[in-house]
Amino acid sequence: MRIDKYLKVTHIIKRREVAKKMLDAGFVSINDKVAKPASEVKIGDIVCISNPNGQKLTIEVKILKESCPLNKVNELYDIK
């Protein structure tokens, strides 16, 4: 699954367009490599999302789904 779509499906980033902008700016990495919007994410990957304020969120991908209700998104990843 593309990383921009994964970030939207998991509700980590609300809109795919915002996810693309963050990816283009270099704020997201997969397994310590800077990711592009079309980068593929797989189960077991470590995704790190930073923001300009220096805050950082690191997750491990557990499940890949095309869509997920908001009350179930915590099943899709583990926060590291």
Which residues, including other chains, have CB under 8 Å from residue 66's CB and lie 6 or more apart?
9
Query: What average pLDDT does this structure show over 28-39?
Result: 97
Per-residue model confidence (pLDDT) at position 24: 96
Q: Which two structure tokens, joined as six digits, stand for 50?
A: 């930073």
Q: Quick: pLDDT tens for 39-69.
A: 999 999 999 999 888 899 999 999 999 998 8
CATH 3.40.640.10 fits 3-79, yes or no: no
* C-alpha to C-alpha distances, 50 to 17, 30, 47, 69, 71, nearest whole angstrom: 16, 12, 10, 24, 24
From edge to edge, which strands make up the β-sheet containing 46-50?
A: 33-34, 28-30, 46-50, 56-61, 77-79
Domain spans of the chain, in order of start? 3-79
CA distance 13 to 19: 6
Per-residue model confidence (pLDDT) at position 34: 97
